[in-house]
């Protein structure tokens, strides 16, 4: 297979937008998070305590983890609005398995990951080989997944879930040196994805597809396989994130699980600097975006403000991020 390499003439390169080790957007996000944390520490001193930071990191983990997959999908020029429904399906399957058979941690995680991979495969096949725009397909599968999840739930909740997934939870068993295992796992996976996207031919192919799928195909990239892989990766990460979601809660899982998660994930990706038009993005930026979104939500709660303000602030961050992306795109065209 012919690999895609960065040509010497940047104006004609379809993968010229590969991220640098750390971008200006990521530095801005770090600065904003530091300022927010400092302001919250002054306003409510309890914010910087372990009792506040640990739950914040636990809540950030599933959003950032699914965001890694979503970043790859959006880099290819696609999108996946079905992840909320997929989280519901994976969560209820895993929870019912835990209640019904009492499997161990490894088996429970494997079951959830397999369920997520199957759902991702459905999206990937329909999008890559059906040649229908991703937003149409995933709007449809979002409803299908939600229907499936509700059918598995039955008429009520899943009760009596054992603490098998406590390794990823909020309790003492879910931390090492004070850092939640869910967040540590997310950091490791984000680092692996960052390396893969930057330093392998396969990772660069995703950027090439988002830049110009036809040019990537002519350069030897197997576009359909890569697009399929992007959605399967997202499904796998949805499966693992579902274990984090179950571990965050109590022994009961209700039908609201996964609700709104797709919006939080897409917000994190966009705020993190990934271009919604495809061809450019960063999983590191996505993780910072997820941390920012959760910081805003936690801060609004601790300050006793109305919860709607959290949505307002996140919306402003999204508009600013998209506006900055459009300005950068215009600057590149005018060079």
pLDDT at site 275? 87
User: What is the model's pLDDT at position 21?
Assistant: 60
Helices (H), 200-307: 201-211, 213-218, 223-248, 261-271, 283-302
What is the predicted pLDDT for the residue at 72?
Answer: 96
How far apart CA 272 and CA 285 sit, in angstroms, is 4
How far apart CA 218 and CA 233 sit, in angstroms, is 25
pTM for the model stands at 0.88
Domain spans of the chain, in order of start: 24-30+50-333
pLDDT at 50: 85
- 10-residue mean pLDDT series, the chain (335 residues): 43 45 78 91 86 91 96 95 96 92 90 97 94 92 95 88 89 87 96 94 93 91 94 97 91 89 92 88 93 91 84 85 76 69
Please tell me the class of the 24-30+50-333 domain: mainly alpha
pLDDT, tens only, 58-109: 999 999 999 999 999 999 999 999 999 999 999 999 999 999 787 899 999 9
């Amino acid at each position: 297979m012919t690999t895609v390499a960065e040509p010497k003439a940047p104006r004609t390169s379809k993968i010229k937008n590969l991220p640098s080790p750390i971008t200006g957007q990521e530095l801005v996000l770090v600065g904003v998070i530091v300022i927010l944390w400092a302001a919250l520490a002054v306003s409510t001193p309890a914010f910087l305590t372990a009792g506040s930071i640990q739950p914040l990191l636990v809540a950030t983990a599933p959003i950032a983890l699914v965001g890694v997959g979503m970043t790859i999908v959006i880099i290819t020029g696609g999108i996946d609005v079905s992840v909320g429904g997929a989280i519901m399906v994976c969560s209820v399957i895993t929870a019912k398995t835990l209640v019904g058979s009492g499997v161990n941690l490894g088996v429970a995680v494997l079951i959830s990951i397999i369920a997520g991979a199957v759902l991702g495969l459905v999206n990937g096949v329909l999008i890559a080989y059906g040649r229908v725009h991703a937003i149409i397909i995933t709007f449809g599968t979002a409803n299908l997944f939600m229907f499936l999840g509700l059918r598995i739930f039955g008429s009520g909740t899943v009760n009596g879930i054992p603490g098998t997934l406590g390794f990823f939870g909020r309790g003492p068993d879910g931390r090492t040196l004070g850092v939640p295992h869910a967040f540590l796992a997310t950091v490791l996976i984000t680092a692996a994805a960052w390396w893969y996207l930057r330093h392998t031919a396969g990772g660069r192919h995703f950027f090439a597809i988002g830049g110009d799928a036809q040019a990537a195909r002519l350069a030897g990239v197997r576009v359909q396989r890569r697009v399929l892989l992007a959605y399967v990766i997202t499904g796998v990460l949805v499966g693992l994130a579902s274990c984090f979601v179950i571990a965050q809660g109590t022994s009961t899982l209700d039908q609201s699980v996964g609700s709104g998660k797709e919006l939080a994930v897409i917000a994190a990706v966009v705020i993190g600097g990934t271009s919604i038009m495809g061809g450019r993005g960063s999983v590191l930026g996505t993780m910072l975006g997820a941390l920012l979104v959760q910081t805003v939500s936690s801060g609004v709660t601790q300050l006793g403000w109305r919860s709607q303000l959290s949505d307002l602030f996140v919306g402003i961050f999204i508009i600013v991020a998209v506006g900055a992306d459009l300005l950068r795109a215009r600057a590149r065209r005018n060079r």
